[in-house]
């Protein structure tokens, strides 16, 4: 990074978390989300052989990277790809692309029969999935767990040979009706200073902090957008599962759920707009019914994901995901003033470089 940036890039061994080096990193962008992996991209400049020798220690798939700002960890994840590049003028750079630690579950497949305890709390089941994927030699990447509970029980199992990704199993579990949210957060232990990778679970939502963050326009908010997308929403939903045909001579047809219908929207004048989702390993109609109901609940009518761009400063904490934000806007569209509460579900940060301020784009949902 350039000299004026407040961020420091720390490269570590993925399995042991031992620090490998602290290297300059330029052209950085990083993001993080609740329920899916975030990403980071950046470029390590290589002006001489000494930096080249240090950069060679960065190995894709086995090196972790953290971004630290003011002593706090703002982002952590795994370097999956890199690109060594030389310009026409002979300038060498190493471009890196990384994803948050959640992405490790998308590189691991269930290769054992897993039958979890009958009627177990769904958050305990999510922890068990991560515990299982970290059991095998070489599979422990030091993700730790809490003790969250939801009081919603599930009965689920996965079979050896289906090659189900652990990430898919976790997403299917979380997507059920009355499901939960998940994220792997990084922070320093306040006593030891040790870097912590923690699986964070929330029912029904992940929430952070007891007080609202307040953003104003005019003021802290640099820009905003309120997109409304009816192509991603609907008023009915069906979930399709695996084929349960046991007659080889008959046509193979998938099991499918009962149609979930947002009757209140249709009665209120909305047209019928159909949603469909595929879950090729699900053989329970009850589970498919739950998935269809959850899909419809999350995408009723038009999907709205507001976003605001803010200037980062000392009052903005690193743990933004799950925080409640009070948005106050006065302009031509909101002459009487908008004053609404939202929850932050995604963050995209652009560190300062070449005169560009340190900014963050916050993705929101109604609180």
> Cα-Cα-Cα-Cα dihedral of 344, 168, 151, 213, to 10°?
-10
In contact, 224 and 308? CB cutoff 8 Å: yes
How is domain 209-227+305-366 classified at the CATH fold level?
Thrombin, subunit H (2.40.10)
End-to-end CA distance of the chain: 36
pLDDT (0 to 100) of residue 3: 40
| Of the options 3.30.70, 2.60.40, 3.40.50, 3.55.50, the CATH number for the domain spanning 108-202 | 3.55.50
pTM for this entry: 0.89
CATH 2.40.10 at 7-102, yes or no: yes
**What is the pLDDT of the chain when averaged over all its residues?**
92
Contacts of residue 353, defined as CB under 8 A and 6 or more positions apart, other chains included, come to 1, 2, 4, 5, 26, 27, 28
Distances (CA, A) of 320 to 32, 154, 226, 298: 10, 30, 20, 22
pLDDT higher than threshold 50 for residue 2: no
Domain ranges of the chain: 7-102, 108-202, 209-227+305-366, 236-298
Which three-class secondary structure state does DSSP give residue 296? Answer: helix
Question: How many CB atoms lie under 10 A from the CB of residue 227?
Answer: 11
Q: How confident is the model at residue 246 (pLDDT cuts 50, 70, 90)?
A: low
> How large is the average pLDDT for residues 112-127?
89
pLDDT tens sequence across 277-286: 998 878 889 9
pLDDT (0 to 100) of residue 51: 96
Shared fold status for 7-102 and 108-202: no
Is pLDDT larger for residue 356 or for residue 146?
146
pLDDT (0 to 100) of residue 235: 96
pLDDT tens sequence across 80-101: 999 999 999 999 999 999 999 9
The pLDDT > 90 percentage for the chain reads 78
């Amino acid at each position: 990074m350039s000299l004026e940036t407040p961020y420091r890039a720390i490269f570590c061994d993925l399995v042991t978390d031992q620090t490998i080096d602290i290297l300059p990193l330029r052209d950085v962008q990083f993001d993080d989300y609740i329920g899916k992996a975030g990403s980071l991209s950046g470029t390590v400049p290589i002006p001489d052989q000494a930096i080249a020798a240090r950069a060679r220690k960065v190995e894709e798939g086995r090196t972790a990277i953290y971004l630290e700002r003011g002593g706090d960890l703002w982002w952590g994840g795994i370097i999956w790809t890199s690109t060594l590049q030389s310009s026409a003028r002979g300038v060498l750079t190493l471009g890196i692309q990384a994803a948050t630690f959640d992405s490790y579950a998308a590189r691991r497949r269930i290769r054992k029969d897993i039958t979890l305890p009958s009627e177990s709390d769904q958050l305990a089941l999510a922890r068990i999935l991560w515990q299982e994927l970290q059991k095998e030699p070489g599979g422990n990447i030091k993700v730790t767990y809490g003790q969250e509970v939801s009081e919603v029980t599930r009965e689920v199992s996965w079979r050896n040979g289906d090659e189900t990704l652990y990430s898919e199993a976790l997403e299917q579990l979380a997507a059920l009706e009355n499901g939960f949210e998940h994220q792997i957060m990084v922070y320093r232990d306040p006593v030891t200073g040790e870097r912590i990778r923690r699986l964070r679970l929330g029912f029904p939502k992940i929430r952070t902090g007891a007080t609202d963050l307040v953003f104003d326009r005019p003021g802290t908010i640099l820009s905003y957008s309120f997109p409304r997308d009816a192509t991603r929403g609907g008023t009915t939903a069906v979930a399709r599962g695996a084929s349960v045909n046991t007659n080889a001579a008959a046509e193979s047809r998938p099991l499918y759920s009962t149609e979930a219908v947002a009757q209140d929207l249709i009665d209120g004048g909305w047209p019928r707009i159909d949603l469909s989702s595929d879950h090729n390993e699900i053989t329970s109609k009850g589970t498919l019914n739950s998935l269809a109901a959850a899909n419809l609940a999350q995408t009723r009518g038009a999907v709205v994901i507001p976003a605001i761009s803010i200037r980062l400063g000392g009052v903005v904490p690193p743990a933004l995901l799950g925080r409640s934000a009070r948005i106050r806007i006065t302009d031509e569209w909101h002459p009487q003033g908008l004053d609404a509460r939202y929850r932050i579900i995604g963050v995209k940060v652009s560190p300062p470089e070449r005169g560009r301020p340190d900014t963050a784009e916050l993705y929101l949902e109604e609180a």
